Structure 1
Amino acid sequence: MHEEEKISDNGDIVDDVQREEWMQQQITLKSRLIETDDISFSTDNEFTGLRYIGGVDLSFVKDNNNDAIASLVVLTYPALEILYTDYQKVSLDYPYIAGFLAFREVAPLLSLITSLQSKQPSIFPQFIIVDGNGTLHPRQFGLACHLGVLADVPTIGVGKNFLQIDDGVELSMPHVKKVTKDVLKKGGDVYYLKGQSGTVYGAAVRSLDTTTNPIFVSVGHRISLDTAIRLVLRCCKYRIPEPTRQADICSREFIRTQNLEKRQSSS
């Protein structure tokens, strides 16, 4: 499970030319981004027609920032029971650099989605929750957007920590920490993350009465922010929504059962 707010110590191995190329790719792909509801189920109170929800995550082998297991799970709705799991071992080519997570992680996640479409299209998820940000991003095009556009599937970004955006004091880390503590009093409370420019990047959401730290929900692709917030809240048994929570649990269990950490330590 990554945390998009942490910058890799070896991030400087990616030069300015590469970063500029990545930024241009994000800008180009963003032209295909859909931030309104384009989904196969109703947005009524019951989300009529919703049956399958996906979650994706990467878990890293202990003491290794490059070798990881990408995981995709499909849960039934509304029971939130696991119906399908798949994994892919990956060796990542680039370090983590803030704002460019997709170039490190999108390929294996896209591969898992494509594989499911081919193998079991009847249970293909009607939307996917991504462990990473969507429009809550310096260029409003994080991992959840990148994956959604490339796969052409509805996605939602859910981050565990706030990614500071350069758009006024309203989106500074100290301000967001203070205001979310003051405003988010109970489960279901929402604080919209609006910058000085007037842009709404996402929302801080308190999952449950029993959790105090918020999660950060943003548009991925083909789902509006308000619908995304409602869907995420329906998926929360704990602080983290079940699709990504189970993707994380399953990928860590896969690492353990495959003895990947033992192999890594002995190599």
Structure 2
Amino acid sequence: MNDAKEASSSISNFSNEFQSSQQMDWLRVQDSLKGKLITEDDFKWRLPTREKEGSCEILKYVGGVDLSFSKDDSSIACGTLVVLDLTTQKVVYEDSSIVRLHIPYLPGFLAFREAPVLLELLDKMKNNAHCFYPQLLMVDGNGLLHPRGFGLACHIGVLADLPTVGVGKNLHHVDGLTQSTVRELLQAADSPEHILPLIGDSGCIWGAAMRSSEGSLKPIFISVGHRISLASAIAIVRMTCKFRVPEPIRQADIRSRERLRNNQ
């Protein structure tokens, strides 16, 4: 019995040491990528609502990525990339991949579990020189609104060198911000646009909470991913919200769930 306890303790210690070592490696990678982060508008296109400036192209193709998980096995996931034509709000491109994930979820390090699947879909599209390759990508996950200021949307944006926007459905505790407090402030705010800047205890603006559709009491949480300002991120999210969640992400979610169901 003692031998069994010792063996169990040894395995537990090894697992903890492995996680600690893995986290240190991931912290170094995050810090390295964070040094390349751009949090202002850095693109050649313009928003459809802005006045024409010379021959500048208009934002037309907006991508969305999402990962859905099997109900029977949480290590089985389907990553999906869709691209919408912003003028018609119709899906013009779709691709997905069902994979088995071997990296465990650790708080603060979601990108190391999910980003490789989504980046592979983007790389495949880019390598095929597809004409609908997104000018901007919306990610089901946070950008700057992250304990270390570098969430999934930042991770994907830097590695893909693509303007990205993080859109979260839930707010995790960051710099004193809590979901319940933000909801109360948003309900009390006298703002016809239903937008609340997310200002932490430090005074840093981490993103914005927005009630994106009529009758929706639950806000979404918008944050900069890479190569875009918060103001532009909010404007583009507003353009793509038929429902609570922006259409590129909503369509990616619907299609990834359907692919999993059909695969079972």
Whether 2:108 is the aligned partner of 1:108: answer no
AA aligned to 1:196 is D
> In the alignment, which of 97, 106, 109 is matched to residue 106 of structure 2?
97
- Give the TM-score normalised by structure 1: 0.86
SS at match of 1:207: coil
Identify the residue that residue 132 of structure 2 maps to in structure 1.
Answer: 123
Compared CA separation, residues 227 and 240, structure 1 to 2 (3 A): same
Contact 1:184/1:190 (<8 A) preserved = no
* Whole-angstrom distance in 1 between the partners of 2:81 and 2:131: 16
* Whole-angstrom distance in 2 between the partners of 1:54 and 1:229: 15
* Whole-angstrom distance in 2 between the partners of 1:116 and 1:194: 37
Whether 2:172 is the aligned partner of 1:172: answer no
Q: Deviations over 1:35-90 (max 9, x none)?
A: 01112311462586111110000011113211001000011012110101001111
- Shift of residue 13, structure 1, vs aligned partner: 8.8
Identify the residue that residue 139 of structure 1 maps to in structure 2.
Answer: 148
> In the alignment, which of 184, 196, 199 is matched to residue 194 of structure 1?
199
* Whole-angstrom distance in 2 between the partners of 1:190 and 1:252: 30
Contact 1:40/1:50 (<8 A) preserved = no
* Whole-angstrom distance in 2 between the partners of 1:243 and 1:191: 22
* Whole-angstrom distance in 1 between the partners of 2:243 and 2:60: 20
> In the alignment, which of 223, 230, 234 is matched to residue 225 of structure 1?
230
- Shift of residue 12, structure 1, vs aligned partner: 6.4
Q: Deviations over 1:198-243 (max 9, x none)?
A: 1111110110222111000000000101100010010000000000
Whether 2:30 is the aligned partner of 1:26: answer yes
The answer for unaligned runs of 5 or more in structure 2 is 1-14, 52-56
AA aligned to 1:25 is V
| Larger gyration radius, structure 1 or structure 2 | 2
* Whole-angstrom distance in 1 between the partners of 2:17 and 2:114: 17
> In the alignment, which of 50, 59, 70 is matched to residue 59 of structure 2?
50
> In the alignment, which of 38, 41, 46 is matched to residue 37 of structure 1?
41
AA aligned to 1:81 is K
Identify the residue that residue 5 of structure 1 maps to in structure 2.
Answer: none
Runs of 4+ in 1 over 3 A off after TM superposition: 11-14
Identify the residue that residue 259 of structure 2 maps to in structure 1.
Answer: 254
AA aligned to 2:187 is K
AA aligned to 1:112 is L
Q: Deviations over 1:176-206 (max 9, x none)?
A: 23212322765x3211111121111111011
- Shift of residue 14, structure 1, vs aligned partner: 5.8
Q: Deviations over 1:130-182 (max 9, x none)?
A: 000000001110000000000001100000011111x23xx134422321232
- Shift of residue 247, structure 1, vs aligned partner: 0.2
* Whole-angstrom distance in 1 between the partners of 2:30 and 2:153: 12
- Give the TM-score normalised by structure 2: 0.87
Aligned positions of 1:74-89 closer than 5 A? 74-89=83-98
Whether 2:216 is the aligned partner of 1:207: answer no
- Shift of residue 17, structure 1, vs aligned partner: 1.8
* Whole-angstrom distance in 2 between the partners of 1:138 and 1:217: 15
AA aligned to 1:131 is D
Identify the residue that residue 188 of structure 2 maps to in structure 1.
Answer: 182
Number of aligned pairs?
Answer: 245
Identify the residue that residue 11 of structure 2 maps to in structure 1.
Answer: none
Identify the residue that residue 157 of structure 1 maps to in structure 2.
Answer: 166
CA RMSD of aligned residues (A): 1.9
Contact 2:48/2:59 (<8 A) preserved = no
The answer for unaligned runs of 5 or more in structure 1 is 1-10, 261-267
